[in-house]
Chains A and B, each alone.
Chain A
């Protein structure tokens, strides 16, 4: 992978100027590369990871993992039905997976009731959806490589040879 992407994936706040310094490149070349990545859809979005448990008035809501069994369609396989499902804003993530069921969804809602209603009124009634199993998330420990707890204190002594 291009090292520009590696650096940005670690910290999206790195400026083109800083990245240029780190990688011994010209700033304008780094900027151009980033622009191209954005245009080509390689870089989709920059966002912040927030530990909502620590935010006082955060609307933490509930999350559920939903296993969905579907009947694939001629010519388009799972793609069209997947699109119909992931287009709902309640669906935070949607994966096609191997094994005993087909789609794995992560669905978010403000409370249990909202999520249940999404499943019973939107998801389950769809033709091609053969069945669903819902697991409500109890606690988040780690997400996308980030451990969700207070920043670790520095344990190194401040000066050593």
Chain B
């Protein structure tokens, strides 16, 4: 039946580390630093709101754009927190996580051959869904720039075919984020070349060293920015699949067209729970944030002490240490660590082929686990040295 698969999908790069993932999933009693979601359960009052909505019989479709109450709540939240003004009627769309928002955004803007800029390492889906939409992903390697997109580099790469850039900060997998000043420099270039910024800010709430700056709050940026966010990471609601996009009404309308034919609407239970998260979830977010920050300090310090060079990320719950000194590539290291010490991490190549000297480790795990994992990594490094 292989010939029946579309050429486009056939040509899509399958994740090179699928086999490794399968190996991890088949093993028991491992400590996992490979998880891309919070280790907290959704706060109870949010879960309870979901249950209550079911009891009350809210089981129908909602408006394609999402419950008005939720869109209104989101615009109020953005206004109070960032002074960011969006109209709940025309400038907000509730999506199945940021993943769907990103897919809709790309499909809504790409004509065949359009180029989309993606600073890398990047989240795994950006490239493949750009290709699916008929666009050409252009990766900008940030390895030598501390994993930050430098304006000079961006300037050199922009040409007439470039339509948009996907930013993701704090970043998955590096945790790196940008200050307002750094973002302004990028925005100046986008303005000059009339490029759209698709800004995935799902980890925005988890920024530790300075206030997070949504791209659309920059001067003159709102008109060419899509702000993507959701409830998964800040409210520990990954499985509920609720995200949202805010942006210029023409683009939101175009995205809504695709959304209404493919998804119809986000499940109503999830939307009701998200309303509750906006109303009462902030305390929990702040508490989780403090906890993550403490773990970040701990893991960065320990990894550097072990000789795995690791930048201190400004946000999210990932670190992206270099394993160059060990002489192993990322898959060898990850496989070895899994087999010998039962610790799971994600090889850097998952986020781009050139990141073969890196690993992504998530510190969204209990402090006890983190400590134990680091002890095991220490043991593993000792074994490698002995073998050499």
Contacts and interface: CB of A to CB of B under 8 A. Distances in A.
A157 B35 CA distance: 7
A131 B39 CA distance: 49
A86 B172 CA distance: 55
B35 A159 contact: yes
B30 interface: yes
A6 B123 CA distance: 34
A126 B344 CA distance: 63
Interface stretch (A19-27, A32-40, A67-75, A109-117): A19-27
Contacts of A23: 294, 297
Contacts of B367: 11, 14, 18
Contact of A18 (B27, B124, B344, B371): B371
Contacts of B282: none
A22 B298 contact: yes
- Scoring B25, B294, B302, B350 by chain A CB atoms within 10 A of each residue's CB, the highest score goes to B294
B344 A159 contact: yes
Contacts of A156: 32, 35, 37, 39
B346 interface: yes
Interface in A131-161: 152, 156-161
- Scoring A21, A159, A161 by chain B CB atoms within 10 A of each residue's CB, the highest score goes to A159
Interface residues of B, number: 29
A11 B291 CA distance: 12
Nearest to A22: B294
A3 to B, nearest CB: 7
Interface string A60-88: 00000000000000000000000000000
Interface string B23-42: 01101001010111101010
A106 B108 CA distance: 65
B155 interface: no
Contacts of B39: 156
Nearest to A157: B25
Contacts of A3: 290, 294
A22 to B, nearest CB: 4
Contacts, number: 55
B301 interface: yes
B21 interface: yes
Interface in B270-312: 290, 294-295, 297-298, 301-302
Contacts of A6: 290
B298 A18 contact: yes
Contact of B344 (A7, A14, A21, A158): A158
A159 B301 contact: no
A7 B290 CA distance: 10
B36 A160 contact: yes
Contacts of A7: 294
Interface in B303-353: 344, 346, 350
A7 B294 CA distance: 9
Contacts of A158: 24-25, 27, 30, 32, 34-35, 344
Interface of A: 3, 6-7, 11, 14, 18, 21-24, 152, 156-161
19 contacts: A3-B290, A7-B294, A21-B297, A21-B301, A22-B297, A22-B298, A23-B294, A23-B297, A156-B37, A158-B24, A158-B30, A158-B344, A159-B35, A159-B346, A160-B34, A160-B35, A160-B36, A160-B37, A161-B124
> Which 10 A-B pairs have CB atoms at the shortest separation, nearest pair first?
A22-B294, A159-B34, A158-B32, A160-B36, A21-B298, A159-B24, A161-B36, A22-B298, A21-B301, A161-B124
Interface of B: 21, 24-25, 27, 30, 32, 34-37, 39, 41, 123-125, 172, 290, 294-295, 297-298, 301-302, 344, 346, 350, 367-368, 371
